[in-house]
Amino acid sequence: MKMKSFLLAAIFIFFANTAMLSASSVHESATDAQQQQAKPYEPKSIAQLSATFLERTGIYAMLFPQEGVTNGHGEEMTLFEQSTGRVIMFAIIFLLFYLAIAKGFEPLLLLPIAFGGLLANIPIANMTSDHGMLGIIYNMGIANEFFPLLIFMGVGAMTDFGPLLSNPKTALLGGAAQFGIFGSLIGAAALSQYTGIVDFSLQQAGAISIIGGADGPTSIFIASKLAPELLGAIAVAAYSYMALVPVIQPPIMRALTSKEERCIVMPKTREVKRLEKLIFPLIVVMMIALVLPDAAPLMGAFALGNFAKESGVVDRLSNEMQNSLINIVTIFLGLGVGSKLASDSFLVAETLGIMVIGLLAFAAGTAAGVIMGKIMNKFSKEPINPLIGAAGVSAVPMAARVVSKVGAEEKPGNILLMHAMGPNVAGVIGSAVAAGVLLSIFN
């Protein structure tokens, strides 16, 4: 009995000792760290003070780049990225400011994105680190793909499916335009397979090709899931090309159609009952639930916004989604994406490849939509102006406006806007479905 209690006591003392030892070692290491952080201040001469201050200036950091300097994520930056790279990025960012303000290129997003880029390239401040403003914003809502979904909710609350419901078959035009996504996927794959310029993985190629969907939030959503390292370039490409829709699309639309086709007048659309608009978002969600759950986050948020709007009983919520919420999230989304415009992640060969492929994706989507419009015009009882196919590349409502403008130029008084809005909103659904397919492949 004595022996047993002695043994127990010994074991107890042993554990108590080890616990105390480990606790004291933890304590010691903690105080070590504290001592390292808060060095006692030593008196310095004014010359020493000036010298240390000079070393902490941005000019010094850019003129005399040093080995071993890390970016916000602890990765080492090359000498070029620390010096000339930053200068080039500042120039690119000022160009983006010019495009957003003077040329009106999607200013709502391009301006915060560019400003985020400006802040991200400030040396020493390390604003993209986990404790920096941009890093916090990025981790808060982009790394976990949350912000694009909130944007999608607002877009849903702003979208009117009336034109689509009044002429349902135009939805197929929105499907054809998604060829831009998959066509450019092949382009990206070929570029990295047969040329040595860039080396995209299939995931990266998929993330880039979604630019062809001409839908900003979808692009950011997919990029942050499949290839976060390319997010900055993809977002800039997507929004720049969306702003360039009036420049990119008309020549392609004219090249693929004859004058007679462009002059086709479409019959007036029927009026859509409110009940149809109310049921529509539910149909979409149920179809997503049954066919493609991978697209559920995107389409779920979109349908929620639309349902709130069409229900007519929660105007307060719907207004919030359309205004305050989407505006706040736009600021954060822009700054967060801008954090990826730091010289070390933007100034790479891939960026150039993304710009080229993005442009091809837009062109291919437009062309496929117009060709589908021609085919449908051949087989449909009612005449269909093939121009409205070009609106299938989402980019709501810019693409539809461009179609209407080109149509009115050919035949004054021929208003195609409402007819083009059908494929336009179907394009949003189409690109979300395409995004869901890509996610389902890589999951």
Binding site for another protein (CB under 8 A): 164-165, 168-169, 171-172, 174-175, 178-179, 181-183, 185-186, 188-190, 192-194, 200, 202, 205-206, 272-277, 279-280, 283-284, 287, 291-292, 310, 312, 315, 426, 429-430, 433-434, 437-438, 441
Residue 238 Cβ vs another protein, minimum distance, rounded to whole Å: 18
| Pick 141 or 206: Cβ nearer another protein | 206
Distance CA 107, CA 387 (A): 27
CA distance 429 to 173: 12
Contact yes or no for 117/96 (Cβ under 8 A): yes
CB of 338 to another protein, least distance (A): 30
CB of 48 vs another protein, minimal distance in Å: 57
Phi, psi dihedrals of residue 197, rounded to the nearest 5°:
-65, -50
Q: Three-state SS for 235?
A: helix
Minimum distance, C-beta of residue 303 to another protein, in the bound complex (Å): 12
* Residue 116 vs 183, nearer CB to another protein: 183
Q: Distance of alpha carbon 350 from its chain centroid, rounded?
A: 17
Min separation Cβ 388 and another protein, Å: 15
Say if CB 89 and CB 117 are below 8 A apart.
yes
Residue 173 or 387 with smaller CB distance to another protein: 173
- Environment class of 85 (CB within 10 Å of its CB; exposed 0-12, middle 13-18, buried 19+): buried
Structure tokens at 110: 């391009």
Q: Are 119 and 367 in contact (CB under 8 A)?
A: no
Both tokens of 155, joined, read 């877009």
Residue 435 beta carbon to another protein: minimum distance, rounded to whole angstroms: 10
Find the shortest distance in angstroms from Cβ 395 to another protein: 17
Nearest residue (CB) to another protein, 164 versus 335: 164
Specify the 3-state DSSP secondary structure of 76.
strand
Nearer to another protein, 134 or 171 (CB): 171
User: Which is nearer to another protein, 4 or 270 (by Cβ)?
Assistant: 270
Judged by CB, which is closer to another protein: 100, or 432? Answer: 432
d(CA 327, CA 31): 45
